[in-house]
Amino acid sequence: MHSRDTLYVDGAFIPSTGTGTLPVTNPYTEQVIGQVPEGTVEDVDKAVRAAAAAFPAWAATSRDDRVKYCSAIAEGLKARAQEVALLASAEMGAPWQLAVMVQAGLPVIDFASIEDHIDAVEWERRSGNSLLVRQPVGVVGCITPWNYPLHQISAKVAAAFAAGCTVVLKPSELVPGVAYLLAEVMDSVGLPPGVFNLVTGTGPVVGEAIVAHELVDMVSFTGSTRAGRRVAELASAAPKRTSLELGGKSASVLLDDLSAEELGNAVAGSLTGCLINSGQTCSATTRLLVPRDRLAEVEGLLEVFAQFAPVGDPMDPATQQGPLVSKVQQERVRAYIQGALDDGAKLVAGGPEQPETTPTGFFVKPTVLVAEAGSTIEQEEVFGPVLTVVPYDGGDEAALAIANGTAYGLSGAVWASDRERGIAFAKRMRTGQVGVNGGVFNPTAPFGGFGQSGYGRELGPLGIEEFTAITSLQL
């Protein structure tokens, strides 16, 4: 059982003021494997007041000392990497290889990289007769989702610590185990009490209490666009700073100069970019834009490639696709697939049915559909292993219009035989990150979006700057 009966507030594991609990379910077995406290508004108040009391001393620590704490936390997470991977597999269904490399690996990088990034921040500079000083923003409320449960916590917390901020964290109640492991690491390295606080619970209670609390200076939120709007609405009453990393409907664009071999590599890379973490990735390349005269060629490749993404037990090293995190998520994704088919989309691979090899578990078959630009499946975020192939007519301008034609703008990709043409195209995409000819994700480059994908940036020096404010000293 993955049960916890405490919160982490002011440097100690303490019971909640409430008596409610929230179940933790294994999405492969569909069995409840634990529970965590259903935190209360009173719990949030305790945590925020602890963070506020700890802020002046923490803000006054040297940057060298803050780096030492972050480095020690990185070492602590590295030593417990297998536990992180096991929790990610058990609580959210991450396939074992992904759990080890990404779910356990990225959080170590998040904390360890602070040493490299903190000196790249321009903490002070002269401007005329003024000295511009970058200050920590204060107490930060961090609200994080379930799909990369420890990375999305660590990306926020490490940067906030580096800036000199204190933190109150609400992790996803669906996958809370890794947050407790992080709290144990924080405790073991001697982090001053109140610098990091953990309150589990639901968004409407704990999340909203954090956003609305008068002593919270900033909220950093990652999650759905719908929930992000609610965070922004509540924060505006103060008003207070927010950083929102929300949904995505990222396009992988195949330009018309690709050779047959290059096309094969591009299609394989695009499908991989869609299916990572069983499609539960906000920056997944879920739209594949293809010149219409090469559509049949692409369909044939995808029909074959989709067979190399077997679903199954997340703990089996051969498994490429685990279950989705919950029954609700499974039903939502299946409804999108069926809706697209009802609207006339062509099914190339997969479908809405339970995979034959896995009679239990919240699985969705890796699915490839062909649909026209402007259709629901092409416009809306599905958040599952569903790739929508979108044919386009005409040249780069037509492809660009479709790529930029959703409300989102988080990530993307472009594939071109002429690399400079690909770079020129990428620069015109209204999105936060673009991979050119398979350029891989950089965990130290700024991450964030345009439009309904939110605002603000995480990771790297800009991620630290997000948690600061400027004071001008007139000299």
List 91, 208, 245, 381, catalytic entry: 245
List 165, 274, 282, 299, catalytic entry: 282
Active site residue 245: yes
What is the three-state SS of the chain?
Answer: CCCCCCEEECCEEECCCCCCEEEEEECCCCEEEEEEECCCHHHHHHHHHHHHHHHHHHHHCCHHHHHHHHHHHHHHHHHCHHHHHHHHHHHHCCCHHHHHHHHCHHHHHHHHCHHHHHHHCCCEEEECCEEEEEEECCEEEEECCCCCHHHHHHHHHHHHHHHCCEEEEECCCCCCHHHHHHHHHHHHCCCCCCCEEECCCCHHHHHHHHHHCCCCCEEEEECCHHHHHHHHHHHHCCCCEEEEECCCCCEEEECCCCCHHHHHHHHHHHHHHHHHHHHCCCCCCCEEEEEHHHHHHHHHHHHHHHHHCCECCCCCCCCCECCCCCHHHHHHHHHHHHHHHHCCCEEEECCCCCCCCCCCCCCCCCEEEECCCCCHHHHCCCCCCEEEEEEECCCHHHHHHHHCCCCCCCCEEEECCCHHHHHHHHHCCCCCCCEECCCCCCCCCCECCCHHHEECCECHHHHHHCCEEEEEEEC
Active site residue 214: no
Enumerate the active-site residues.
Answer: 245, 282
